[in-house]
Amino acid sequence: MKLAILGGGLTGVTLARLLVERGNDVTVLEKEQKIGGLCTSEMRNGFTFDCGGSHIIFSRDTEVLGFMQNVLAENRDIRHRNTKIYYKQRYIKYPFENGLADLPKDDLFFCLSEYINNLIAVERGEVSEPENFRDWIYATFGKGIAECYLVPYNEKIWNYPAEKMSKHWMDGRVPQPPVEDILKSAIGIGTEGYTHQAVFSYPIDGGIEALVRAIAAPVSDSIITGFAIASIRETAARWKISDGKRTITADRLISTIPLQTLLPLLTDVPVQVRAACGALRYNSIACVSIGFKGTVPDISWMYVPESEWGMFNRLSFPSNFSHHVAPDGCAAVLAEITYNEGDTVSRMTDDELVAHTVGGLVRMGILPNAAEVVHAAVDRFKFAYVVYDLAYMKNIRIVREYLQETAGIDLVGRFSQFEYLNMDGCIRSALDFVMRQ
């Protein structure tokens, strides 16, 4: 059986490798000139930056973690996480609830007292079942932690009001903090959250794209790049995928590309399905790469909830992941800014985004001054984050049912399943798909 995989990002190449290992005839079609998707990296002026945002290698899923580590082999550095939240010009330990002792005293009291008040209210049955993401934050962490950090940070990264977001995706993603950890954190006894991230890996050379290329190496002959799909047709139980010049024929079609890209390529899609797909929300991302003469703090990555420092929500420090990503005497910072078409960020030029980011980093004390910058670049991706609004469950069900059950197209990965999957989640989705075959 001939299988065609749409998209040569992390999910697509993982699928190809796994399916070929099982004896399948597979062709991967990637519109860009190289594979990787959000996991592409670029070497510029002696610096290596991940273009689609900071990516590191970790997972609770031991099978997936072992897979990633094994394919990278010796091209892998191991690091211990040191992550901070930049709050009122202080470095607060991450996650926020594990760094309460680092807060100004008034904020510490606010967070701790409201956490306890919320616990008492929950015990008394005075807290209603959360109806949205904002309600969930308040009901889980109390008013203090919610208003000091979680609500402003999440509204910054999602670029969307928390009360208009669904809460369903929190199940299994953010653990309920143990009461004793909150109390220990408040009085300065060290606690750790998200322990599966405490130790992580990163490629020594090549950025995160090195992982994608290592996965793809055994199936490189099955990957066609520069294939921008213009149409998809089903004829006599065979799929014909064309870029306007070439046509690939397949018995089975597996999509890893965004639903918003896939549906317009199909014919006779019902109006209600197109409407449901059009209503699915997502964020775009602008990643600002800054290389400069000097050093960065001994921090892995940092969350920035306050808007006064810049529109970026997260900073990562790639030169702390691997010593090979920056020239001698230089350091690297990657700033991530989420946006939507038509908003302020979408209208800014790359030079304006660089100036905005450099200004914020200087004010924060991360860059000594703008004159030390020796490299700057901006990479933009239209599809970056799935946004779970309140209508998500209804709309995704309509789209999935049509594509999978009526059209007979398999959906795998972050933007084809339209779920907020990290790298390990994308690989797990590929593993699970292959196991079901």
Alpha carbons 27 and 20: distance in angstroms, whole number: 10
Domain range enclosing 103: 96-193
- 287, 334 in Cβ contact below 8 A? yes
Bond preceding residue 95 cis, omega within 30 of 0: yes
Residue 339 has pLDDT above 70, yes or no: yes
Question: What is residue 144's DSSP assignment?
Answer: H
210 found inside a domain: no
Could you tell me which residues are beta bridge partners of residue 240? 233, 249
Helix or strand run (H / E) with residue 301? strand 301-303
Residue 414 has pLDDT above 70, yes or no: yes
145 found inside a domain: yes
300 found inside a domain: no
115 found inside a domain: yes
- Across the range 401-430, mean pLDDT stands at 97
What is the per-residue pLDDT for 173?
65
pLDDT tens-digit readout, 90-126: 999 999 999 999 999 999 999 999 999 999 999 999 9
106 found inside a domain: yes
pLDDT tens-digit readout, 163-211: 999 999 986 666 677 888 899 999 999 887 777 788 999 999 999 999 9
Residue 325, SS3 per DSSP:
coil
From residue 125, give the alpha-carbon distance in Å to each of 118, 120, 128, 129, 168. Answer: 10, 9, 8, 10, 21
What is the per-residue pLDDT for 116?
95
- 362, 326 in Cβ contact below 8 A? no
Residue 234, SS3 per DSSP:
strand
What is the per-residue pLDDT for 190?
84
What is the per-residue pLDDT for 403?
98
25 found inside a domain: no
Number of structural domains (the chain) is 1
168 found inside a domain: yes
Which is it for the CA torsion 157, 306, 117, 189, positive or negative?
A: positive
Total number of residues shown for the chain: 437
Residue from 437, 429, 400, 435 nearest 7 by CA:
429
265 found inside a domain: no
pLDDT tens-digit readout, 226-276: 999 999 999 887 999 999 999 999 999 999 999 999 999 999 999 999 999
